[in-house]
Amino acid sequence: MTVIESAVARISAEDTSKPEFLGVFARPKATQTGIKNWLSTVDHKKIGIMYGAASLFFFVIGGVAALLIRIQLAAPDGKLLSGSTYSTVFTMHGTVMVFLVVMPMGAAFANYLLPLQIGARDVAFPRINAFSFWVFLSGGIMLNTSWFLGGGPDGGWFNYAPNNGIIFSPSTGIDFWNASLLIVGLGSLTGAVNLITTVLNMRAPGMSLMRMPVFVWMTLVTQFLLLFAIPILTVAQILLLMDRTFDAHFFNPEQGADPLMWQHLFWIFGHPEVYLMILPAFGIVSEVIPAFARKPIFGYPFMVFSGIAIGFMGWGVWAHHMFASGIGPLSVTAFSVATMFIAVPTGVKVLNWIATLWGGKLILNTAMLFSIGLVTQFTIGGLSGVSHALAPADSQQTDTYYIVAHFHYVLFGGALFGFIAGLYFWWPKAFGYKMSETLGKWNFWLMVLGFNVTFGPMHILGLQGMPRRMQSYSEVQGFAFWNAIASLGSFILAFSVLLLLINMFRSHSQWKNAGKPDVGADPWDGRTIEWSIQSPAPEHNFDVTPTVDSLDDFWYKKYAQNEEGRLVQVATGEELAQPGNGEGVHLPAPSNWPIRLAFSLPVVGYALIYSLWFLIPGIFLVLVCLYGWALEPADDLDLDHGHNDDDHSLAQTVEENTASISGGVSDE
Amino acid sequence: MSETAVLDDNAREEDELVVDHSGDSGEHHDDGHHSSLGISNTKLAMWLFLGSECLLFGALISTYLLSKANFMTQVLAGNPKVLATLTKLKEVAPEKYEEILEEGSVEPLFDILFTSASSFILLMSSLTMVLSHKAVSEADYRASRIWLGATALLGSIFIAGQVYEFTVFYNEGIYFNKNLFGSAFYTLTGFHGVHVTVGIIMLASLLIMSMRGKLNQDRAETVEIVGLYWHFVDIVWVLIFTIVYLIP
């Protein structure tokens, strides 16, 4: 250990006098362009866009898996997939959608928007932010290589013991699941630390906690859930790793172990997990609905505190996933009651959205339609969720298609509808043009149609008794009709997703052909401060750190009350918008170490699966990257890095505002 | 020299987003940062990370307790497969084997006196850690190096004690993959051992920085943050020692 350290120290000692020595220790140039710029970027906006692009890519993979499932089940006695392939396909569908689509999509919005909405220059730790993204990508790629390396995991996304043991699943699939999700989890953990620090510590002057947009609040709760939930999954996975790779006995009933321990660990992680998947989408629609209802969000404090309440109560309901596992009547009662209670804060949110819509001057564009879509579809999913809280009913429904219908209504109808609303809403801020409304409305209505035709019938199938994870069924079981309908719907749904992707590219080429007209800083007449900067957002975000005076600060700078108490416009968004002049602003220099470290971790992962000898180069590589990271100069040495006179304007602004910061904090 | 100074200046801001540059010589660098809560980003991040670690160790301790209880139930029920995993103990230390069967507890396996001593050594390392932080913040760099070295040394002695203890258990036939208790015990204590080792690496890195003159007064917070981690690892050991060794 010390040998490596002193070697690294020696290298860096020479590095101190000669920055060019050993190219790896020089910091990449901020001026480099093209792909290199993206690979080494530490800009939260670029990282957010990459998160979004990667999760859309994985969305296509997960979607193809879903279509394979629906083709297999379209008619009785499906022959497309063998039993073991079918297990792999539904496991990968679930795992990819949860860990590589919904969670990173939330991270995409969080990364892009958090600093913009709280008036910060970037996140607290830009390099760690880049690492979080790359490690998610490297883990996601590693998981998907299992398709080609002896078959994917086949234990379901929840991967119950003892079915996940070496006896019942001897292929390397579950080892891939384990190792790659450990790596992905590392990204979630570092991301959580980073984003919480950013929200708590880097708010603009005047941006007190109760002036933060609801999206920031929901993301903060989400990141706290991640911070505390991920380590529990990590422990479960490490125990499983010990069992599978090192012959430990944690889940081996022969040695007296209780395999139910896996279920407890998994769902103590897993239930906060479902809330951390939905809360970012709740945050997004809480931004979109007020913007297009032309009203402030109804009951802002209730929105905030119901989100926090969901965050807390999410920890006390995990065993409702286990009513059929024999946990005893007292536990069943307690978790049943707790589960009914958690519907209350969720219901508060739904009521608040409806109350925000009530009496508003509704602008029904695509973003708004998707938001209303979330409110309606999620409510259906929420109601079927309450029916799971009733333990006697749940004992009948559990492991049937009724459950499948429920969680697709909350995850697709909830989370994904919210994310797509967010895509349409913030697209002009990120890329400088709006997506087509015509295609967008086709996208929306086809998605609503396809979604309900796919997942609606699953309620009926579940109540008829069709089990989940069933590879095929026979004619006499009477499941054929609704399965055929669901499969039909899944193709409508897939087509609507295709329309979304087409819209992104087609709108771009139309915008380009029209000579790239400026969409303006504030295309929607928005409420929050991210609309007060140019579109696409300049690399330095704000020219001058904004000072925030109220909730929906940007709106109240545009509109003021006249003598009769009516709101009148006093300025347009374009008049107030910052010109996007980043002169003298110091930005963190790009770095290659996050991507290097992130892609050296799968080496360790593959070593755990194939041969422990590869741990030696793997761990060595990780250590080199860690020290390379630590010893990297904080700036591009060629760049005049901000200790110059131009910078004083900003420094002064910050100093001037220090007083108002402390004022803002004590307000809380 | 001038380039060294520039680099040093940069390194101070490592990983922390630089929002402002008041252009001062950096004497009160941390005060210069714009921070809503009044504590630096790195310190807040360490606290958050430690919060996450609480859940990690919480889950590990819970699974240890569950696994041990399940193991003991099987021992007392006379499950032949489980008893067969203790055959070597029966040969090497028959009195321990008998005690386990009679009392339904693995406590006789532990050498409480030895582990108490090594626990005491680990706890004392928290004291030296505090002293090294105090020395750095008072610009007493020689003392800071001594206390940093002492902390790393005490941590290493603890790890050596753990290795010794593992060896004794191994010779008694309690392997990692022998039975459920072995798996749970080695995983929990091993995980803690890895945390201590990571701490020692961080302390060694600080020591090297200090010897190269890069750990000066205005970087005292770095020592404090490593200290936070170190104290956390110590506190977790107090819990593990109590739960694993002292509670029958």
Hey, what amino acid is at A193? Answer: V
pLDDT(A505) > 50: yes
Instruction: In whole angstroms, give the CA distance from residue A575 to residue A126.
Output: 31
Q: Which two tokens stand for residue B227?
A: 């200290």
pLDDT at A26: 65
Percent of chain A with pLDDT over 90: 81
Instruction: In whole angstroms, give the CA distance from residue A236 to residue A234.
Output: 5
pLDDT at A588: 85
Hey, what amino acid is at A661? Answer: I
Contact A175, B27 (CB under 8 A): no
Higher pLDDT, A129 or B10: A129
Nearest in space to B176 (alpha carbons), one of B99, B70, B102, B67: B67
pLDDT at A387: 92
Q: Do A201 and B81 touch (CB under 8 A)?
A: no
Contact B52, A189 (CB under 8 A): yes
SS3 label, residue A400: strand
Q: Do B201 and A665 touch (CB under 8 A)?
A: no
Write the CATH number for A282. 1.20.210.10
DSSP class per residue in A17-68: H-TTSSGGGSPPPTT--HHHHHHH---HHHHHHHHHHHHHHHHHHHHHHHHH
**A634 falls in which pLDDT band (50, 70, 90)?**
low
Residue A461 covered by a domain: yes
Q: Which two tokens stand for residue A128?
A: 């760690």
Mean pLDDT over the full length of chain A: 89
pLDDT(A658) > 80: no
Most confident among A662-666, B87-91, B224-228 (mean pLDDT): B224-228
Q: Do A200 and B36 touch (CB under 8 A)?
A: yes
**B177 falls in which pLDDT band (50, 70, 90)?**
confident
Instruction: In whole angstroms, give the CA distance from residue B223 to residue B201.
Output: 13
Residue A510 covered by a domain: yes
Instruction: In whole angstroms, give the CA distance from residue A185 to residue A385.
Output: 27
pLDDT(A327) > 80: yes
pLDDT at B102: 86
> In whole angstroms, how far apart are CA A614 and each of A1, A387, A621, A668?
18, 50, 11, 53
Buried b (16+ CB within 10 A) or exposed e, B62-101: bbbebbbebbbebbeeebeebbebbebbbeebeebbebbe
* Overall average pLDDT of the A476-485 stretch: 94
- Write out pLDDT tens, residues A580-597: 888 888 888 899 999 999
Instruction: In whole angstroms, give the CA distance from residue A579 to residue A301.
Output: 33
Contact A591, A127 (CB under 8 A): yes
Residue A277 covered by a domain: yes
Q: Do A633 and B11 touch (CB under 8 A)?
A: yes
For the four alpha carbons of A618, A138, B56 and B179, in that order, the dihedral sign comes to: negative
Q: Which distant-in-sequence residues (6+ apart) come within 8 Å of A13 by Cβ?
A: B212
pTM to 2 decimal places: 0.89
For residue A363, the enclosing domain spans 269-517
Strands A567-569 and A559-561: antiparallel
From the list A261, A586, A637, which residue is nearest B21 (CB)?
A586
Q: Based on the number of CB atoms within 10 Å of its own CB, is A134 exposed (0-12), middle (13-18) or buried (19 or more)?
A: buried
**Interface contacts (A, B; CB < 8 Å):** 190
- With left for phi above 0 and alpha for psi between -120 and 50, is residue A390 left, alpha or beta? beta
SS3 label, residue A214: helix
Instruction: In whole angstroms, give the CA distance from residue A16 to residue A446.
Output: 60
Q: Give the residue ranges of DSSP H helices in A74-170.
A: 83-95, 103-118, 126-145
Instruction: Please report residues of B whose CB lies closer than 8 A to that of A126.
Output: 17
Residue A632: closest C-alpha in chain B: B11
Residue B162 contacts A, CB cutoff 8 Å: no
Please report the domains of chain B, with CATH numbers, ordered by start residue.
Answer: 1-34 (no CATH), 40-246 (1.20.120.80)
pLDDT(B10) > 60: no
Higher pLDDT, A31 or A509: A509
Q: How many domains does chain A have?
A: 1
Q: Do A642 and B18 touch (CB under 8 A)?
A: yes
Nearest in space to A634 (alpha carbons), one of B203, B241, B186, B16: B16
Higher pLDDT, A582 or A163: A163
Hey, what amino acid is at A210? Answer: M
Contact A163, A169 (CB under 8 A): yes
pLDDT(B32) > 70: no
Contact A5, B204 (CB under 8 A): yes
pLDDT at A111: 96
User: How far is Cα of residue B166 from the mean position of the Cα atoms in its chain?
Assistant: 17
Instruction: In whole angstroms, give the CA distance from residue A479 to residue A463.
Output: 11
Higher pLDDT, B26 or A593: A593
- Write out pLDDT tens, residues A11-25: 444 344 333 333 445
From the list A194, A250, A633, which residue is nearest B7 (CB)?
A633
| Contacts of range B55-58, beta carbons closer than 8 Å, 24 or more positions apart | B55/A228, B55/A229, B55/A231, B55/A232, B56/A231, B56/A232, B56/A234, B56/A235, B57/B191, B57/B192, B57/B236, B57/B239, B57/B240
* Overall average pLDDT of the A345-370 stretch: 95
Q: Do A255 and B6 touch (CB under 8 A)?
A: no
Residue A543 covered by a domain: no
**B163 falls in which pLDDT band (50, 70, 90)?**
very high
pLDDT(B29) > 50: no
Q: Do B36 and A643 touch (CB under 8 A)?
A: no
Q: Do B17 and A19 touch (CB under 8 A)?
A: no
Count of alpha carbons within 13 Å of B89, Cβ hemisphere only? Answer: 24
pLDDT(A175) > 90: yes
Higher pLDDT, B201 or A648: B201
Beta strands in B118-220 (DSSP E): none
* Overall average pLDDT of the A483-511 stretch: 96
From the list A9, A200, A246, which residue is nearest B37 (CB)?
A200
pLDDT at A36: 87
Higher pLDDT, A532 or A30: A532
Q: Do B18 and A588 touch (CB under 8 A)?
A: yes
Instruction: Please report residues of B whose CB lies closer than 8 A to that of A2.
Output: 204
Hey, what amino acid is at A514? Answer: A
Instruction: In whole angstroms, give the CA distance from residue B207 to residue B145.
Output: 6
Instruction: In whole angstroms, give the CA distance from residue B53 to residue B128.
Output: 23
* Three-class secondary structure assignment of A422-479: HHHHHHHHHHCCCCCHHHHHHHHHHHHHHHHHHHHHHHHHHHHCCECCCCCCCHHHCC
For the four alpha carbons of B31, B32, B37 and B42, in that order, the dihedral sign comes to: negative
SS3 label, residue B152: helix
pLDDT(B22) > 80: no
Residue B180 contacts A, CB cutoff 8 Å: yes
Residue A308 covered by a domain: yes
Q: Do A17 and B45 touch (CB under 8 A)?
A: no
**A7 falls in which pLDDT band (50, 70, 90)?**
very low
CA distance to partner chain A, nearest, from residue B61 (Å): 10
- With left for phi above 0 and alpha for psi between -120 and 50, is residue A360 left, alpha or beta? beta
**B108 falls in which pLDDT band (50, 70, 90)?**
confident
- Write out pLDDT tens, residues A66-85: 999 999 999 999 999 999 99
Q: Do B21 and A16 touch (CB under 8 A)?
A: no
**A10 falls in which pLDDT band (50, 70, 90)?**
very low
Q: Which two tokens stand for residue A398?
A: 């559990």
Instruction: Please report residues of A whose CB lies closer than 8 A to that of B51.
Output: 227-228
Instruction: In whole angstroms, give the CA distance from residue A569 to residue A271.
Output: 45
From the list A239, A252, A647, which residue is nearest B63 (CB)?
A239
Residue A315 covered by a domain: yes
pLDDT at B214: 84
pLDDT at A25: 58
Residue A18 covered by a domain: no
ipTM, two decimals = 0.88
Contact A179, A241 (CB under 8 A): yes
- Write out pLDDT tens, residues A227-262: 999 999 999 999 999 999 999 999 998 888 999 999
How large is the angle between the packed helices A83-95 and A44-73, nearest 10 degrees? Answer: 150
Cis, peptide link before residue B94, omega less than 30° from 0:
no
For the four alpha carbons of B187, B189, B194 and B195, in that order, the dihedral sign comes to: positive
- Write out pLDDT tens, residues A410-450: 999 999 999 999 999 999 999 999 999 999 999 999 999 99
CA distance to partner chain A, nearest, from residue B7 (Å): 6
Residue with tokens 């959205």: A353
SS3 label, residue B230: helix
From the list A16, A126, A246, which residue is nearest B4 (CB)?
A16
Residue A538 covered by a domain: no
From the list B10, B51, B176, which residue is nearest A248 (CB)?
B176
Strand-pair partners of A567: A561
* Overall average pLDDT of the A533-542 stretch: 92
Contact A42, A591 (CB under 8 A): yes
Q: Which distant-in-sequence residues (6+ apart) come within 8 Å of A217 by Cβ?
A: A283, A303, A304, A307, A308
